Structure 1
Amino acid sequence: MALRVIRLVIPSGATALKAGTVSQKAGLHTSSVRSLQYGWLAYVLGERTTPRFSQNSKIITVDGNLASGKGALAQKVAERLGMLYMPEPDTFYIDKMTGEKEPLPVAFNGMCSLEKFYLDPKATDGNSYRLQSWMYIMRLLQYADAIEHLLTTGQGVVLERSPFSDMVFVDAMFKEGYIRKECVDHYNEIKGISICEFLPPHLAIYVDIPAEEVQKRLKQSSKPYLHNVPLSYLKGIEESYKKSFLPQIGAETEVLAYDATQAQDFERVAEDIEYLKFDKGPWLEQDDVTYHHMRMLVQNKQRVAGLTHIPKFLPETTIGAHEYDETYYAYRALPGKRYAPGYNEDVGDKHIWLK
């Protein structure tokens, strides 16, 4: 038997720490594990989502190639429209959700390395696809966080990329020979059974910048491992955005595209967003009943991550039962991981018997 390690412990419910903000929610006790969570009883007692919505209660994603300036645009748009900005997740996104003081070892975070990918994209240990598969899961978890924030508070969210656009990297990797066809098939199967559970963003903004300019910017980066990214790989990402992602997402989502210069005019972009009618897509078909079920899904991060589990062997992402067992007990041996949060004396938790 072989088991794929997604994460030994993924937070679920309202106690998860969101990367970018902390939402305070009512609770009966001071202990975090006693926090109240949204559920069917809250809905029965009259808790509704639509009364909180306003004109800017939207999910907006900002996409573009590496070093395209999408992060600055996303942050400024969020500030201008009074939305929450969520920066692009990295391989340690779960550690941010759980409030780790320091990132845990890569053995508990996808067993992959972004730096290694850029230095040795054709590594024989399968790091490239393991990284891409893990990043899809991180984007899915962040997107669930974004929807949970929207439904809980009514405040819109602006993200850098999303699980809907994540496929541009798979396309570019395959064209460069970094991953096998079996990996592409595996990715498409996982995405096919998971992304369908989520509504697409209300708006996708694309920052169009030539691959040659992207490579030039990467060579000036403070991160040495980005200095030698092949131009063909960057062109592959650009091509996938224009030929695959934008046509697909445009069928259900509003799309705005800007070149590098236009993307720096944050006020203009914000004005363009305010003029959009948002008169297409599945969000128009939702009501308080569907929002209730959606909220129940996205607050349960274990369930969200479980959407990416399939009983299929793939050398790049599958480990044996014995290795999984070793990893599990290694994780439980870490400080504060033996019991639920708030019940571990080794990290200073007090009055455990009163909780």
Structure 2
Amino acid sequence: MSFIRLCTTRLIAGLNGARNGHQMLGIQSLVVNQCKTMIGVERMDPEVLKNKRKPWPYKTKPYYTYWHYLLDLDITPERFDQNTKIVVIEGNKASGKEVVAQALAKEFGLLYLKEPDLEEMYINHNGFDYRSLNKYIDELVHAIDEKMFYENPHHKAVQWLKMFYYYQRFEQYIDALVHLYATGQGIVLERSPYSDFVFTDAMHKCGFLNDDTRDFYFRLRHNTIYDLQRPHLVIYLDVSPEECLRRIKARNIPHEVNSKVLTKEYLQEIENQYKKRYLQEASRHSEVLIYDWNKYGDIDDVVDDIEKIKLDEWDPHLEKFEDWNLWEEDEFEFFRNLYTNKKYKLMQKLSLMPVYDVPSLWVDDEIGEHRDKIYKHMVPNYGITPSFDPSKTSLLTRLLRWRNTSYKEDTDFNCRGPFY
């Protein structure tokens, strides 16, 4: 199996070409020989691994300041190696992303992050499931999940469902960047906030998402997406809608098999958005590989292809990898500080945009107050965050407890309480 390195012209030629046996035509294979690229962990230079700084324990010592850098206590780039990269696996429903992502994580020593699940929003730290209270509140403010969407794509809360997915992907991507900067370990994710619009437009074209919701979504995306750094590598698993439907039927999950959403039309729209928009945009800033995955493929071939791609361009006049072409060492410290210490500010942007001009998302006072009243009286310990354990945190974190607690309370209320 050969790999496909995409530039915009090749991408347009290939994706607009004829499909013959579900294989991509019109894009030439290109092998790039160069000396610095990703490499399997078993083939890495032992001296490189030996001389790396130890990972910063960011989960127990979340605060990183410029003093760590100025006093030479912690220099971020000294943790980086050839595999300090963001890799995203993209594809349609049931395309096989999880298997590929896990295999690449093992081969290259990357942290694997599964696609976000809305249950992370709806089941709080005490194990209480907010969905159990849907029967007491208005349909618009239901805690809606993917299963409910598949069963009833015209449920009023579907308009908010799309926002919740973007919120989840956005936060997960920030967490991935924090991990990369603090440990030097690369990340492999299933999809990302950059490709989330693919599903927004597919839902809209199939009549599941209203015009005003779509408009608000892209305004929100524009206001937040530029705070992130784009992936180094995007891998797209090309699977026909017909094969996706066959796999969905084979795995026999009832709400998927009987879904009013997972139709050939919807899956075709997802494919169209990937090929007509996302992959072209992604190829400007990241390397893109496309594989015909209708009959799956050999992971070893994918690994071999990745090791032939140059993922460390340095040209200030090109868009490729411009998010990662940092001129000075302290720029790495800036981004690390941004994602580590100012995550709450980035997340606040998701809730600062008003929806009073978006009828499909607007929750009037009566509905909102009733929902809040139900939650307050029926959710155990509602509004109370987990206790702060000083024995498991650093002195700096304890001194800045007010800031950490404030962030935890805000996110817990906004993301686990009324959700919006």
State the TM-score, normalized to the length of structure 2: 0.68
Which of 66, 73, 76 is the equivalent residue of 1:49? 76
**Whole-angstrom CA distance in 2 between matches of 1:254 and 1:340:** 42
- Listed one character per residue, the Cα deviations across residues 187-216 of structure 1 (whole Å, up to 9, x for unaligned) are 100000100111110000000000011011
Which of 273, 295, 299 is the equivalent residue of 1:240? 273
Q: Secondary structure at the match of 2:193?
A: coil
Structure 1 gaps, min length 5: 1-22, 344-354
**Whole-angstrom CA distance in 2 between matches of 1:150 and 1:173:** 33
- Listed one character per residue, the Cα deviations across residues 296-355 of structure 1 (whole Å, up to 9, x for unaligned) are 232244223212230232244343456269638729963485255238xxxxxxxxxxx9
- Listed one character per residue, the Cα deviations across residues 204-233 of structure 1 (whole Å, up to 9, x for unaligned) are 000000001101111223321111321100
Q: Secondary structure at the match of 2:354?
A: coil
Q: Secondary structure at the match of 1:297?
A: helix
State the TM-score, normalized to the length of structure 1: 0.79
Cα distance change of structure 1 residues 137 and 203 upon mapping to structure 2, 3 Å threshold = same
**Whole-angstrom CA distance in 1 between matches of 2:226 and 2:286:** 15
- Name the structure 2 match of 1:259: 292
Q: Does 2:345 align with 1:303?
A: yes
**Whole-angstrom CA distance in 1 between matches of 2:58 and 2:239:** 45
Amino acid at match of 1:249: A
Cα distance change of structure 1 residues 81 and 312 upon mapping to structure 2, 3 Å threshold = same
- Listed one character per residue, the Cα deviations across residues 10-64 of structure 1 (whole Å, up to 9, x for unaligned) are xxxxxxxxxxxxx88289xxxx6xx452123323322221111100000000000
Q: Does 2:156 align with 1:114?
A: no
CA contact (8 A) 2:238 2:294 kept: no
- Listed one character per residue, the Cα deviations across residues 118-175 of structure 1 (whole Å, up to 9, x for unaligned) are 111122x2x2221111000100000001111100000000000000000110111111
CA contact (8 A) 2:110 2:186 kept: yes
- Name the structure 1 match of 2:206: 176
What percentage of aligned pairs have identical amino acids? 31
Q: Does 2:374 align with 1:342?
A: no
Structure 1 segment 61-140 matched on structure 2, within 5 A: 61-94=88-121, 100=125, 102=127, 104-106=129-131, 111-123=143-155, 125=156, 127-140=157-170
Amino acid at match of 1:153: T
Q: Does 2:223 align with 1:193?
A: yes
**Whole-angstrom CA distance in 2 between matches of 1:110 and 1:190:** 22
- Name the structure 2 match of 1:288: 329
Give, in angstroms, the shift of residue 259 of structure 1: 1.1
Which 10-residue stretch deviates more, 295-304 or 207-216? 295-304
- Name the structure 2 match of 1:3: none
Q: Does 2:63 align with 1:37?
A: yes
CA contact (8 A) 2:89 2:234 kept: yes
Q: Secondary structure at the match of 1:111?
A: coil
Give the aligned CA root-mean-square deviation in angstroms.
2.9
Structure 2 gaps, min length 5: 1-54, 135-140, 314-319, 390-400, 402-420
Q: Secondary structure at the match of 1:189?
A: helix
Q: How many residues align?
A: 312
